[in-house]
Each structure stands twice: as structure tokens, then as C-alpha cells.
A = this chain, B = another copy of it.
Amino acid sequence: MSLRQCLASTSRATATKTRPRLTKSLCLPTLSGISRLCPTGPAPVHVRHASTLPQRSDRFNKLTKSHIGELRKLVGSSSSILSTLDGSATEDDLKTYNNDWMNKYHGKSQVVARPRSTEEVSKIMTWCYENDIAVVPQGGNTGLVGGSNPIHDELIISLSSLNSVRSFDPVSGVLVADAGMVLESADGYLAEKGFIYPLDLGAKGSCQIGGCVATNAGGLRLLRYGSLHGSVLGLEVVLPDGKIWNGLSTLRKDNTGFDLKQLFIGSEGSIGIITGISILCPRRSSSTNVAVFSLSSYEDVQKVFSETKTHLGEILSAFEFFDAASYALVRRMQKHHGEEPKKVFEQEGDFYVLIETSGSNAEHDEEKLTNFVEHLMTSEMVLDGVLAQDTTQAHSLWSLRELITEACTKLGAAFKYDLSTAPGEMYDLVEQMRARLTEKGLLKGDWEGDVGAVVGFGHMGDGNLHLNIVAKQFSEKIQDVIEPFVYEMVKEKGGSISAEHGLGSMKAPYIGYTKSETSIEMMKQIKQMFDPKGLMNPYKYIV
């Protein structure tokens, strides 16, 4: 029985008590961190044309065996330096650092340093500065735009050995920790104390909190807890000349001069290496609820979003959307896996929204959500809906949204775009892209063209669209139809060509589609001011 049927035969008062059971057919596989981080299907090969990748710059020195000897003197442990130059590592050992997890970006570095303290990072950076050695700071290496891999032979400084909690104040909720701490570990530490890390990502099992700050990661909790520009209270950074900047304040308020830490949030390793983080963590909500609805139009998605904010207000923690093509893609993947997808909705729609609430009082939250669900189901805004009854079902509902990324990668070569516009205009981008690919003869019927599917999904609450074009295989012909068209569409709407993934190597050349010449000029001056030798993460970001 769907929710609509259930509610039709239930009074409002009773509905509060008897939450409709989720249909048993909803038994989707849940996500595992590993499968999401290491897709085994055809590798997506959408990278910048080789001709556009910058040449190695002669202003950087090449690392030699004798350099490695000097580097070893700066660190306490022999395992802190891995290099093919002195035989302490093989090329294979360095692949994890040279290549990204999608195997899209391939560096040629011969040296990885894994310092164990901020002081060691500082010593290494001072040495690099004096010797004109280019550097790539690396966190969990889970980025999507080639920002954390070398392009040529840059020295990689991995933060993975800097991974301890430094302090936690249960009155203020302020956590101070090393930058290399894995996000999931930080959140686990906080969970034991009744707090939550104000950021959540698919890659949380691998990504590091320092990398998240360096890339200004957005993720699933942004709607509720806001951006890192608001929640990060302080940073410790090793500057390009090796100096340690101690901006690791734990104060929530401090109006004494420019808020310097803000420059490092989202700086993608271009002006310093973040080694420590101070962040304000909220209390963990004791109650969480998840519901998914099918809808007939994007206009209804917007109406439901607006209604959701009115009715669920302070307990709303996520509002995600995906289109019918995304939903079909996940079901297609399940069939490829030999599974027969189960029926989730009595009435499927052209759109779906996932609503999550988190609050401090389970009874109140359930009442709010049930009343709201009833309001939606008796309106013309939704076609059908399902409400999770327990954590397992909540995970299953989330997987409807989260498996889309995996399906895009496993069913073909995915051209992935992470865009933002005003929420009202967001879906136009998907429709315009479909029209263009159809017009060019690439998108036809049911997987009959070179492009199998164009899907749109994302964080509706943040105006953040993930537009994925799933081709049977990569071709420059398809890419040339997509780009720069996709960026032109976004520019026309005053949107961003990278809502949360950053610029890295992939989008560096396209910044002009989102930022003005005046902005880019100011950014270049900032880069020059902090890193006059241009040693930090070269060839990317602001070039």
C-alpha cells in the first residue's frame, strides 16, 4: 500500500500513530564505501584534451637521489619518505599518490613525503622553497577534478600521518584536529560525545578533514549546518616559504582584522598546506527520518521544496532531488547485476525528492513529518511517497539517490558536471543538454545513440545540480558537443561551473565562465602574494 492509499483511509490523528509501513519491495542494495570509491566498471576517461595540459615549467628543479638524502634528514622516520630515486619505493607503490581514485589523472612524481608533525611539514616546505621544488599537498586523494595529483614530477606531501584529535571542548563543541584525520574518524570521535561533524560526504571513509577544508567541500549536511566558511573557526597552515601560520583559533567571534583563514578555505593547496583545523560541531540529533516522493514536474519539486521549508523548518537536514532518467539508470545497473529491481512507488514520476529530518525529539519530528506527508499526499504536488521505518530502510531510501553516481560510472563513460544556479533554473541545464545531444544525433531512444542517458540529480536545497552524460564510450566528438556548451549555459544563468568539486586541473581553464576578469586578476594577485615562486600545486586552480 502506498502512502497515498494509506492516508486516504486514515484520519490525521491516527496517521500520527500508525506510520504506514514501507513496502517490502524496497530492498535496494545499500552502498559500501569501497564500491563507491573504487568503481570497477569502464573507467571514465573524460579529462582535458592532452594538448591543453600545461607543459612542465623549467623554473622548478628536478628532484635527484641526493635531494632524497637531504629530505630524509628533515624527518624522524625513514618511512616518511617514499621515493623511486633511492629505491625506497617502486613506481607501483607511488601509484596511489600519483593517480586519483577514478584513475583519470596520472602524475609522474618520484617522491612522496609523509610528515608526522606540523614541524616536519614546515621543514620540508622550507627545504622545497630554498630548492625551488614544486609541491602537491595531498589529503585523502578523493577529489574529482585532479586537484590532489601531480601533473608532472612535483613532490607530493601527504598529510595522512597527521591524524590525531588535538582537543575537544564539550561546552562549546569546538574540535581541534590534525588535517590528515579521515572525516569518518572525526565524525566517529564526535558521535561518542554526542556531537556531529558539520560535513558529510560520500567519500567520508577516505577523505581527510584538511582536504575537505582545502576544497571547501559541500556535501549532504550543507543545507542544515552551512558551509565551512561559517563552521571552520581556525586553521594552522604551513606557508609556501615553510613558515607556520598559527591561525588555529577556537573562538566563535573574533573581529580583529581580515579573516585570513577564509582565503585558505577552498584554496586547493595553492597558497599553503593546511595542517590543523578548528571547527564548530553541533550536537548530534537523536532522531532522523527519511522520506522519498515521486512527482510529475520540476515545478512541483520547487513547490515541495518551498513547502518543506515552511513545514519542517529547523528539523530539515537534506532535500535531494533526482530525475526519472537517474532512477532508470540505477534500475538498469541493478539488472546488469542480475537483480530484478523491486517496485518502490505505486506511481512513478518524472522527478523524485528525498527529504531528511534530524531533530532532538523523535516524537515531535515524527509528528511534524507525518503531518507534512499527509499534507503533501492530499495535495496535487506529489504522486506517491515512501517513509522509512528504521535505519535500514532509511539507508535504502538514501541509496535511491546515492547509487546514481555509481550507476553513471558503471554503465558507461560518464561526463560529470557539478553546477549551480538559482534553484528555479537548475533543471533547464539538463533539458538544454538533452536537446543539444538529440539535435546532434548523439542521444536517441532507449540507449540507441552514442550517449545512453543524460541525468540530473543533486542537492536541491543548495541549488547544486550534478549533470551526468553517460556515453557508451568516451569520444572527443561527444566531449566537443558538450564543452564548452555546458559552461556557456551556466554562464548565461549566472551560475557556477563548479559548485562543490573545485577547479583542480580539470576546470582551471574554464574559470572565466563563472568569474569576471576583475575577480581572476585579484586571485592572481593573492596567489602571487602568498606564493611568489609559484611552488604550490602548480598548473592548476588559478593559472
Contact = CB atoms under 8 A, between A and B. Distances in A.
Interface string A194-227: 1000000000000000000001101000100011
A494 interface: yes
B257 A420 contact: no
B314 A252 contact: no
Given A313-B285, A423-B172, A424-B169, A464 B230 contact: no
Given A227-B230, A306-B171, A253 B515 contact: no
A358 B315 CA distance: 12
B253 A462 contact: yes
A222 B253 CA distance: 9
A368 to B, nearest CB: 6
Given A514-B256, A529-B525, A171 B263 contact: no
B422 A229 contact: no
A196 B255 CA distance: 24
Contacts of A258: 263, 266-267, 522-523, 526, 542
A472 B380 CA distance: 69
A145 to B, nearest CB: 9
Interface string A381-425: 000000000000000000000000000000000000000111110
A254 B313 contact: no
A312 B500 contact: no
B519 A257 contact: yes
Interface stretch (A129-137, A337-345, A501-509): A501-509
A420 B263 contact: no
Given A256-B498, A523-B258, A243 B313 contact: no
Interface string A502-537: 110001000100111011101101100100000000
A302 B169 CA distance: 12
Counting chain B CB atoms within 10 Å of each CB, which of A172, A250, A507 scores highest? A172
Contact of A519 (B260, B314, B499, B515): B260
Contact of A171 (B424, B462, B464, B518): B424
A252 to B, nearest CB: 5
Interface of A: 169-174, 194, 215-216, 218, 222, 226-227, 229-231, 243, 245-247, 249-260, 262-263, 265-267, 283, 285, 302, 305-306, 309-315, 358-361, 364, 367-368, 420-424, 459, 462-464, 494-503, 507, 511, 514-516, 518-520, 522-523, 525-526, 529, 541-542
16 contacts: A169-B423, A170-B306, A172-B422, A229-B229, A243-B518, A245-B516, A245-B518, A252-B462, A254-B498, A254-B514, A256-B498, A257-B542, A258-B522, A258-B526, A259-B263, A283-B313
